[in-house]
Structure 1
Amino acid sequence: MARQQERARRTRAAIIRSAAVEFGKSGYAAASLNRILEGSRATKGAMYFHFDSKEDLARAVLETAVERYRASAERWVTRTDLSALDILHGMIDEMALRLEHDIIVQAEYRLIIEPDFYRDVQTGGGRILGRATRMLTVRAIEQGQLRADADPDRFARTLAAALAGQRYMVDLFGGGADLRVRFQEALEVIVEAMATPEWGEKFRKDGWQARARLEDLGLGL
């Protein structure tokens, strides 16, 4: 029984991964179930055992992406060895890494801009990052890194918009742009506008104290 359950889990994961590749490349409407089956090496019966439809499969991809966003955010916000802004930098750096290398997260980004899935923006990875960003902003104010009059909601909204814009611009213009560098630039501009002089002086001397590592992403399904 345990072996059968593991085989079923692996089959389901392979189908989700293949679907993510197809959705990321072709979008939802043009995605082909036959190409998804070919990529997963699963049978049609196995696919319909796990998923009722193409929409059901797309939602499984979205749910898997949300799980990855949540795992990344939780791992960073629970760290106690770094200051709040360094944690925020590390978390955002990891999100850039995921957008560059994680097929599931790439597919989520493609799906939520399509009409069938607009409403999923409200419950997707962006909302998880927004909550974590606000939490870290409050912590940064308490730690004296951001000014006491800094507005956590304004900070989180502005940063989210800046990161989304950077992601869009990298897609639009390409040219070998490094998304991690662009995300860092966006963070620095916003932080420097609200930071205390003490933090600014320390940052100019020490820079960021945390970066994400590709090996920590757990990219295998």
Structure 2
Amino acid sequence: MQYSRGQFITFEGPDGAGKTTQIEKLAAYLKSKNHPYLLTREPGGTRISDAIRTLILHPEHTEMINETEVLLYAASRAQHVKEKIIPALNEGLIVLCDRFVDASVAYQGYGLGIDLKKITMINKFATGGLEPDRSYFIDISPQFARKRLLQRNGHEALDRIEQKNIQYHEKVRKGFLQLYERHRDRVCLIDGHQSVDQIFDTIIRDFQAVFHSE
């Protein structure tokens, strides 16, 4: 899918990696520089996509089969791309998105063991072939991530995906690292065990270099 002017930037990483904190810090930086931007997330971002998000993540939906999960994520993404992301890019905005197709490859391809070609095909249909211009992958161990999530919210607040066992999340992390190896031209890998400020310093220096921004 083609768009005319804007830049599309995604943030990826395991649950608990600190993506939300970092994407909000980059949004604040863009605002301070008067760069027009859109901050959004997946699954979600539109009324329909948010409704699908609730279906996917609700902890009581333990009977959800893997194929349903794959298709629900793709359906949410299709609505998000067509309704929100592409129009913003066409207006020249910098779109900051918390998760995109890389998350489906890592979580459903590697985590659930769904054929990677099927994941790619389904999501290419959903997105019209849209790909990020830059992706920031914040990498942390599943054990560290789980500890952080439990400290922040407690076990009762974990969603259906966050509640999966450590072995599953190890596979997801491996998936993200494999994506980094395959797409080094697009993906910036960052050690998520650093402080919030150290992580953001790496992101902002990379952003300024890649997009020639000050």
TM-score with structure 2 length normalisation?
0.34
Choose between structure 1 and 2: higher helix proportion.
Answer: 1
* Greater relative contact order (CA < 8 Å, ≥ 6 in sequence): 2
TM-score with structure 1 length normalisation?
0.33
